[in-house]
Amino acid sequence: MSNTTSYDYVIAGGGTAGCVLAGRLTEDPDTRVLLIEAGRNDLHPFIHVPAGFAKLTTGPYQWGFSSAPQRACGDRVILLPQGKVLGGGGSINAQVFTRGIPADYDSWERDYGAKGWSFAEIQKYFLISENNNRLSAPYHGTTGPMGISDIADPHPLSEAFVKAGQEYGLPYNADFNGETQYGAGFYQTTTKDGRRCSTAAGYIRPARKRPNLTVLTSHLVTRILLDGKRAVGVETLHKGTTQRFTATAEVLLAAGAFVSPKLLQLSGIGDPADLRPHGVEVRHALAGVGKNLQDHCDLDIVYELNRYWSMDRLEKARPATALAGLQYLAFRSGPLASTVVEAGAFTRSSAAVTDPDLQFHFLPAAGVEAGIAAVRPGYGATLNSYLTRPLSRGTVRLGSADPTVQPIIDPNFLADDHDVEVGAEGVKQSREIMAQPSMARHVKAEHLAGQSTLRTKDDYIKFVKAYGRTSYHPVGTCAMGTGDQAVVDPDLRVHGIEGLRVVDASVMPTVVSSNTQAPTVMIAEKAVDLIRGRQRNA
Ligand SMILES: Cc1cc2nc3c(=O)[nH]c(=O)nc-3n(C[C@H](O)[C@H](O)[C@H](O)COP(=O)(O)OP(=O)(O)OC[C@H]3O[C@@H](n4cnc5c(N)ncnc54)[C@H](O)[C@@H]3O)c2cc1C
């Protein structure tokens, strides 16, 4: 055991939320902050060149998590990549910039008791985080640390997809974060001047020289230190050595939706029935820890193209890669400046639905993400869809009292029949959009991962259960609210424990109706005001 070191705030987890917290809290020179990240520094070029996304869902910058066998999906074990690097998910993600719909946040307040989190009250936190290169008030900010940009040169296939969406009957939508999500269009991404803008880039890089900020990478937080019912620090493991760090003000848990509940459980905070089998002493019974896990269940269709035309060329044709590299180095433009996930759509699964409940991502490439087949030989494109407001709920439980062991993650994908039905409708709509003239002319064949035809509703349901996978959006495992399953209160303080807040995607009571990075940034921005006891005007 080595020495103890003391800070005002100790942040466990240097991902999307942790970097926002550290960057903002150290704006006050009198506040000493320690940010602890289990992964490495974010130095690798694949992290910063947007097209590097295609290399990041496998390899050393993700945890290698996988699910428990999924009962509703034929007991399949599903890969669950999550960022393990400074910047967390924001350093390896597809950079799609969306933030759900106002009704998501209004529901947090109305249905879960998350007072102060209605959209009218949190919108200002989206705005202060954002530095948008095209859009401004009332829906966007232009002076924040997060660079948000249009894709510099959308691929012609992405343009074809957006046209196909219109031929299918969707309006063109120039801003999925504006008046409405509904329609087809191009995503904006978390990019600044052609480089990925994670929260490590946007919030930590400018703060690095501050003497009041200490960043430790490759340090695994193993538990929260408690003095009775007060959190007083954390214990870490680094190269086989255990260290302790004291927080005189607060410990801020920001290890993401899979590990924040695990760290609470390892520290004796959780459902006693989950702790006792592993010999973990119950320090504070809190039934909701690790419950309420939600994720969007992604459904991909890969298309073989009739011309050598997609971004697969970057993988397969060296001259194309070299040219793209030169263009990127000289102008920060071209295919490498694209995150690959360029275009998309939001639709409704039926006329009875008011707000869109299906989201689509179009990739002018195939085999980009872990577990998705490439087209060989030939060139491909991918369209995926998911239902944005799933009803299935899963769990995160300890796999062992050993902090180096992966937790048992059970997203319980498609356990609710509603999710199966809407997922099937999403696949159907994917195929209908891709059959429109602007897209159909480029498609040689549909690769349905072994399923030769989808005709009946039963075919679609079988497909959904056979191929549903994570969209990397786990939330909800330390849910905010006031009910008996709530883990944190609306100020993000762990119920019944002093000096401990959870600030990351795990506090969302329900998953928002879109990708989850921007909402997590918003949560951390609001947390800073809560920590400082500060009111902010709109
Ligand atoms: C492959 C992928 C693609 C995605 N695509 C998009 C997208 O296009 N758009 C979008 O909006 N969202 C996307 N997301 C989701 C988004 O990135 C996450 O919602 C967001 O990063 C969650 O932030 P967080 O702070 O809760 O967790 P994270 O960003 O995961 O941060 C948690 C951090 O804690 C660290 N940590 C964990 N355990 C410990 C420990 N014991 N000790 C120390 N450190 C620890 C982790 O290494 C990590 O850095 C994607 C995510 C992934 C993984």
Q: Are 50 and 196 in contact (CB under 8 A)?
A: yes
**Averaged pLDDT, 387-411:** 98
Q: What is the pTM of this model?
A: 0.97
Helix (H, G, I), strand (E, B) or coil at 8: strand
- What's the average model confidence in pLDDT over 258-283? 98
Between CA 526 and CA 17 the distance in angstroms is 11
What pLDDT digit, counting tens, does each position of 205-238 carry? 999 999 999 999 999 999 999 999 999 999 999 9
> Beta partners for 36?
12, 216
User: What residues does ligand 1 touch, defined as CB less than 6 Å away?
Assistant: 12-18, 36-39, 57, 81-84, 88-90, 92-96, 220-221, 254-256, 259, 472-473, 504-505, 515-518, 520
Q: How confident is the model at residue 321 (pLDDT cuts 50, 70, 90)?
A: confident
- Cβ-Cβ contacts under 8 Å for 283 (sequence gap 6 or more): 226, 229, 267, 268, 269
Cα–Cα distance, 487 to 497 (Å, whole number): 10
Q: Is pLDDT of 450 > 70?
A: no
Q: How far apart are CA 479 and CA 86, in angstroms?
A: 24
For the segment 60-75, what is each residue's pLDDT rounded down to a tens digit? 999 999 999 999 999 9
The lowest-confidence range among 204-218, 341-355, 366-380, 458-472 is 366-380
Closest to 261 measured CA to CA, from 438, 47, 479, 101: 479
CA distances (Å), origin 318, targets 313, 314, 322, 417: 8, 7, 6, 46
| C-alpha 254 to ligand 1 mean position (Å) | 9
Q: Is 488 helix (H, G, I), strand (E, B) or coil?
A: strand
Euclidean distance between CA atoms 506 and 130, whole angstroms: 22
- pLDDT (mean) for 142-156: 95
Note the Cα 84 to chain centre separation in Å: 13
pLDDT over 70, % of the chain? 99
Does 371 or 255 have the greater pLDDT score? 255
Active site annotation includes 473 = yes
* The two three-digit tokens of residue 93, written as one number: 């993600």
Pocket test for ligand 1, best of 10, 11, 16, 85 (most atoms within 8 A of CB): 16
Predicted confidence (pLDDT) at residue 513 exceeds the cutoff of 70: yes
| Per-position DSSP letters for 304-341, written without gaps between them | EESSS-STTHHHH-HHHHHHHHHHHHHHS-SGGGS-S-
pLDDT at 370 over 70: yes
- The bridge status of strand 408-410 relative to strand 213-216 is unpaired
Mean pLDDT of 437-459: 88
